[in-house]
Amino acid sequence: MDVATFPLLGDSFPELAVQTTTGPLNLPGDMNGRWFVLFSHPADFTPVCTTEFVAFQNRYEEFRALNCELIGMSVDQVFSHIKWVEWIKEELKVNIEFPIIAANDTIAAKLGMLHPSKGSNTVRAVFIGDPAGKVRLILYYPQEIGRNIEEILRAVKALQIADQQGAVPANWPHNNLIGDRIIVPPATDRKTAETRLKTYDCYDWWFCHKPLEK
């Protein structure tokens, strides 16, 4: 594989014209002005993937409240996706509302979702894209570990907060040092460093924080 083709943080999301369970989709163009989470799964009709899709659907309205769309993807054909979604609705009483892309190996390789040492199926990749179509976060999980949907939702919230207010700490919004407060960028000159302790709550001039604006 050509590693250079993989999207990196800050890159424009690769342009893809794909077929989904809800019809044709062009990425990132059709998401213009919206955040999106594109996540791949190894295969339809598998236990871990089924639990993930139910978990994503259970939080779907929370993602949409953040102006964020969910998009699933695997190299299964679209009729397999449709049948799987029907099975989930009939047997688990959960209606999967978001689209699922029927990808091919070319698309999966373009996104770095095929890891040969982990088999021929796509690994559990997650891409968070912003309203400008830029890649803002990338996660890869092995096939044997299901994703934490709460963390992905937290990441979307944190990215949006960071864009507007500043960096967020570990485990935000429940950091053990500063809670849900926002980190002030470190001073870059001596004059600012001297006044920083008088302006913000600080551990030192290079570690200051401010309240989260609700």
- pLDDT tens sequence across 49-81: 999 999 999 999 999 999 999 999 988 899 999
Percent of the chain scoring above 70 in pLDDT = 93
Q: Band the pLDDT of 182: cuts 50, 70, 90.
A: very high
Q: Please check whether residues 51 and 109 belong to one and the same domain.
A: yes
Q: What is the pLDDT at residue 124?
A: 86
Q: What is the pLDDT at residue 118?
A: 60
Radius of gyration of the chain (CA): 20
Q: Band the pLDDT of 109: cuts 50, 70, 90.
A: confident
Q: Does residue 1 register a pLDDT over 60?
A: no
Q: Band the pLDDT of 21: cuts 50, 70, 90.
A: very high
More confident residue, 112 or 137: 137
Q: Please check whether residues 136 and 173 belong to one and the same domain.
A: no
Given 49, 68, 202, 208, the catalytic residue: 49
Peptide bond connecting 28 to the previous residue in cis, omega within 30 degrees of 0: yes
CB atoms within 10 A of CB 150: 11
Q: Please check whether residues 27 and 129 belong to one and the same domain.
A: yes
202 as an active site residue: the answer is no
Dihedral, 121, 126, 127, 128 alpha carbons, nearest 10: 160
Distance set, CA 106 to CA 12, 47, 109 (Å): 18, 26, 5
Percent of the chain scoring above 90 in pLDDT = 78
Which of 27-31, 107-111, 207-211 shows the lowest per-residue confidence on average (mean pLDDT)?
Answer: 107-111
Domain termination residue (choose one: 92, 113, 147): 147
Total domain count, the chain: 2
Q: Please check whether residues 60 and 123 belong to one and the same domain.
A: yes
Q: Please check whether residues 98 and 177 belong to one and the same domain.
A: no
pTM metric for this prediction: 0.91
Q: Is residue 155 domain-resident?
A: no
- The residue segments making up the domain with residue 139 are 3-147
Q: Please check whether residues 77 and 138 belong to one and the same domain.
A: yes
Q: Residues 89-104: what's their mean pLDDT?
A: 95
Q: What is the pLDDT at residue 150?
A: 97
Q: Does residue 2 register a pLDDT over 50?
A: no
